[in-house]
Amino acid sequence: MAGLQEILDDIAAALADETDRGKVATYIPQLARIDVRKFGIAAALPDGSTLTAGDAAEPFSIQSISKVFTLAIALGRLGESLWRHVGREPSGQRFNSIVQLEYEDGRPRNPFINAGAIAVTDAILAGHSPKEVLGEILQFVRAAAGDDDIHINGSVAQSEKATGHLNFALAHFMRAHGVLQHAPDLTLGTYFHQCAIEMSCAQLARAGLFLTDAPGVPRMISRGRARRICAIMLTCGHYDASGDFAFQVGLPGKSGVGGGILMIAPGRASVAIWSPGLNAQGNSRLGTKAAHMLAERTGWSVFDGRTLRA
């Protein structure tokens, strides 16, 4: 296998001239302004090194990737009782779909669709103010990345609040069913701010290392919990394209509408990719392609016996 740096450089070069880059998310007005030509990729390794290519030092809106970190915090805070608020089955629906909630009495399918993530944020708000919860999320992410220069972009959060009618609909629906404990305005205010955290690929890759369970990596949560978060990333991390991501790439991943993907190669690396143009399912178009290329070139897969023996 070529060296990892060479592989990252090859992927960035191969995608640089791609003309069909997908469409940036426009339903959050601040995200509509991002240049669709951006592309970055970073791999953080257990030895402390981070390899990068392209625009890997430029901060972007992590959006739904924040749901991985809030799930880790919620499991730490509530343990198994978190699953009373939210399920862990793939939804097979769009990320902001409301239809399943009606059939299933307001209990969202999993923590990574919008409804489920809103329920998780609501659960960690119990006994805390939004400011405290956002402080805790930032503290967790900064500790995981080993970098204090990670912030929330307030204007992205405000921009989403002004236009987030679908998320308000989901929250009110869940509140009506007693799934949310707090006023939708309070829970969503917190949720929009967590989604508006900005990180570069290099920072995000390092922040995901705790999920690799690799020797030498600081343990932020128990090994069993890290494994379960990865399982949910694999089955639910790409909305209604999760099955295809598992099929094509074979690694746990979580995407966001900012065009980012966090991907975990257990025991080996944490990878972040950013390309803001999205495909029809709301996942980064070139990011998904890059993830596939990386898995092919490295042979990394949770379904590969050699990986498991390593």
Residues making contact with ligand GLU (CB under 6 A): 63-64, 95-96, 114, 160, 167, 195, 256-257, 282
Q: Which of 24, 38, 61, 64 is catalytic?
A: 64
Q: Which of 24, 61, 66, 67 is catalytic?
A: 67
What is the distance between the alpha carbons of residues 269 and 214, in angstroms, rounded to a whole number? 8
Query: Is 64 one of the catalytic residues?
Result: yes
Query: Is 191 one of the catalytic residues?
Result: yes
Nearer to ligand GLU among residue 50 and residue 63 (C-beta): 63
Q: Which of 86, 133, 249, 257 is catalytic?
A: 257
What is the distance between the alpha carbons of residues 68 and 72, in angstroms, rounded to a whole number? 6
Query: Is 242 one of the catalytic residues?
Result: no
CB of 96 to ligand GLU, least distance (A): 6
Q: Can you read off the two tokens belonging to residue 146?
A: 């080993």
Among candidate residues 210, 242, 196, 261, the one with its CA nearest the CA of residue 40? 261
CB of 101 to ligand GLU, least distance (A): 15
CB of 289 to ligand GLU, least distance (A): 18
Q: What do you get for the CA distance between the two ends of the chain, in Å? A: 15
Environment class of 110 (CB within 10 Å of its CB; exposed 0-12, middle 13-18, buried 19+): buried
Q: What's the alpha-carbon Rg for the chain, to the nearest Å?
A: 18
DSSP string, 16-35: HT-S---B---SSGGGGGS-
Nearer to ligand GLU among residue 71 and residue 257 (C-beta): 257
Q: Which of 61, 66, 86, 239 is catalytic?
A: 239
CB of 63 to ligand GLU, least distance (A): 3
The answer to whether the CB of 79 falls within 8 A of the CB of 243 is no
Supply the residues annotated as catalytic: 64, 67, 191, 239, 257
